[in-house]
Amino acid sequence: MSNPCREGLPVVANDGLGRDSASGPLFEDGSGQLSAPELAALKAEILALTRRYARSAHRGFRPGDDPDRAPYSGGAIPYAGRVFCEDEVEAAVASSLDFWLTLGPEGDAFEQELAAFLGVRSCLLVNSGSSANLVALSALMSPLIDPKRRLRPGDEVITCAAGFPTTVAPILQNGCVAVFVDADPGTGNLRVDQLEAAYRPGKTKAVMVAHALGNPFDLGAVLAFCRKYDLWLIEDNCDALGSSYSMPRAMAESLGFGDNSPGLDEGPDRVARYTGAWGDLSTQSFYPPHHLTMGEGGAVNVVRDQRLRRICESLRDWGRDCWCPSGRDNSCGKRYGWSLGELPEGYDHKYIYSHLGYNLKPLDLQAAIGRVQLRRLPGFIEARRSNWRWLRRALEPLGQRIGFSLPTHATAVNPETGDFAWDGSGCRSNCSWFGFLLRVKPDGPLSRSDLAHRLEQAGVGTRMLFGGNLLRQPVFQALLRDQPAAIRSVVAEMSGADGLMEQALFLGTYPGLTEAMLQREVKLLLEFAS
């Protein structure tokens, strides 16, 4: 009988075991079936070959300080990219051989490991940071939320005018009003002094903002504002995995936080937690430029109230009420015992829907890659910090022409040591930098765009602060025209967001940068900007 799996495939003359693999039985007993030990041996052989291949083929993707990394020999310096070794490739191939495909054991393990790293109740994998933002905001609209706090169409959500569009898009996609405060040009973060003006009693329900380029926003001020008016906080932590924020213990406790995130400790009088572990929900992106990658991917972190997880999971998984992981049935123990909506009693829980959902799951293979990356995360975070310090020290001579960022609450940096002076708020931030933000002062010899262009021509990748002032983007201009009630700006002129749009640029800090790359980057910058 013909084998449809083999039809159309090229015939492999020899399977490496000395037998013709495309025709005829593979094994002595004529069945073509390997015994369990034979399968394990074959898998081990494939994985050993995979490691050998990846080690040689991908030397240029190893961490910048890895002695086995291919030396930099000139050429393009991307602003970010995948950093991986043979372990990630092996994990991907092993997962492919297991062929579970949809989210499964690797996904479960990744979710638990990420939650343990951050010190949050749980994490939910999704297929991108944008999906994570969509799930997080949509969760607050769920009929399962306390009616007093539930978001409804027309309710207002405060956000920042500068940044990435999919931090804001879910607000509008859910029929809520996006209320924009300006950005601080020094950090790219929202201006907390505009929050009170943004608040409308009975209308404002949530704040949803990003930690810009790994620099935490002023969590002390934002959390105090949210507590004062009983508002939800969604932290878009897509660009800030590994950044942390600390405050005096008394202040943290008054905001509802007594515990440090695992591994963070600033003494008994302070509480230190990772960004993404302060709001109600937070989000991650695992797209390649981010702090860890699985190709595409993202996560929603449920910080304290585990009931939100069920809602997020339902939204991710078609809107279903059932929470069984794929491949498992009847986790609730009463699959045919529910009576919900107007469905007949005992209707299969698998097909009962409590939300208008999506399908936003990634593959288990992605999670397998992510788990290896998660083990590298502490090293990645340190490399990002060290690259930022290196750039800051080396670019100091450009201080007249270029404005440099400081971590939120820092008032100055010693460029030699990288030590910061702090403001009197008692709060501090420790950045896991996504990029090195600089603002080209307008009266210098080169504009920001000229500088970006010249660096690009010389092979040095840079990026602008994503969408700049989002309100000037074509899509928001169209919204302002077609649905003016969907957007509210707290100030007439978004001068901070405009300044970032016109003058800001960021260089990479990703862990794949080597010292030779940083040196070349700085040499070119000094040359172009002087």
Ligand X SMILES: Cc1ncc(COP(=O)(O)O)c(C=O)c1O
List for the chain the helix, strand, coil content (%; round to 5): 35, 15, 45
Q: Kindly state the smallest distance separating residue 37's Cβ from ligand X, in Å.
A: 41
Of 211, 290, 349, 409, which is the active-site residue?
A: 290
Q: Kindly state the smallest distance separating residue 132's Cβ from ligand X, in Å.
A: 8
Binding-site size for ligand X (CB under 6 A) equals 16
Q: Kindly state the smallest distance separating residue 163's Cβ from ligand X, in Å.
A: 6
Which structure tokens are listed for 243?
Answer: 């950044």
Neighbours of 110 (CB within 10 A): 28
What is the DSSP track for 154-189? T-EEEEESBS-HHHHHHHHHTTPEEEEEPB-TTTSS
* Single residue of 80, 125, 176, 210 touching ligand X by CB under 6 A: 210
**Residue 128 in contact with ligand X, rule: CB under 6 A:** yes
Q: Within 13 Å, how many C-alpha atoms sit on residue 328's CB side?
A: 12
* Single residue of 85, 238, 368, 455 touching ligand X by CB under 6 A: 238
**Based on CB atoms, which residue is closest to ligand X, 164 or 225?**
164
**Based on CB atoms, which residue is closest to ligand X, 291 or 520?**
291
- Closest Cα to residue 120, out of 140, 136, 131? 136
**Residue 164 in contact with ligand X, rule: CB under 6 A:** yes
**Based on CB atoms, which residue is closest to ligand X, 167 or 429?**
167
C-alpha span between 12 and 20 (Å, rounded) = 7
Chain residue at closest Cβ approach to ligand X: 129
Q: Are 387 and 433 in contact (CB under 8 A)?
A: yes
Q: Kindly state the smallest distance separating residue 469's Cβ from ligand X, in Å.
A: 15
- Binding string to ligand X for residues 275 to 314, with x set by CB under 6 A, is what? ----------x-x----------x----------------
Q: Kindly state the smallest distance separating residue 105's Cβ from ligand X, in Å.
A: 23
What is the DSSP track for 199-261? --TTTEEEEEEE-GGG----HHHHHHHHHHHT-EEEEE-TT-TT-EEEEEHHHHHHTT--PPP
**Residue 216 in contact with ligand X, rule: CB under 6 A:** no
- Closest Cα to residue 373, out of 443, 456, 285, 446? 285
**Residue 358 in contact with ligand X, rule: CB under 6 A:** no
* Single residue of 50, 142, 167, 408 touching ligand X by CB under 6 A: 167
**Based on CB atoms, which residue is closest to ligand X, 95 or 167?**
167
Verify whether residue 290 is a known catalytic residue: yes
Convert 357-403 into a string of H (helix), E (strand) and C (coil): CCECCCEHHHHHHHHHHHHHHHHHHHHHHHHHHHHHHHCHHHCCCEE
Site for ligand X in 450-489 (CB under 6 A): 466
Sequence-distant (6+) residues with CB within 8 A of 32 are 25, 26
**Residue 514 in contact with ligand X, rule: CB under 6 A:** no
Q: Kindly state the smallest distance separating residue 443's Cβ from ligand X, in Å.
A: 30
Specify the residue for token string 């593959």: 363
**Based on CB atoms, which residue is closest to ligand X, 273 or 463?**
463
Specify the residue for token string 């967001």: 497
* Single residue of 156, 239, 313, 317 touching ligand X by CB under 6 A: 239
- Closest Cα to residue 470, out of 281, 153, 210, 234? 210
* Single residue of 129, 185, 279, 362 touching ligand X by CB under 6 A: 129
**Piece of the chain touching ligand X by CB under 6 A; list 29-37, 49-57, 75-83, 232-240:** 232-240
For residue 359, the one-letter residue type is N
For residue 204, the one-letter residue type is T
Residues labelled catalytic: 290
Binding interface with ligand X (CB under 6 A): 128-130, 133, 163-164, 166-167, 210, 236, 238-239, 285, 287, 298, 466
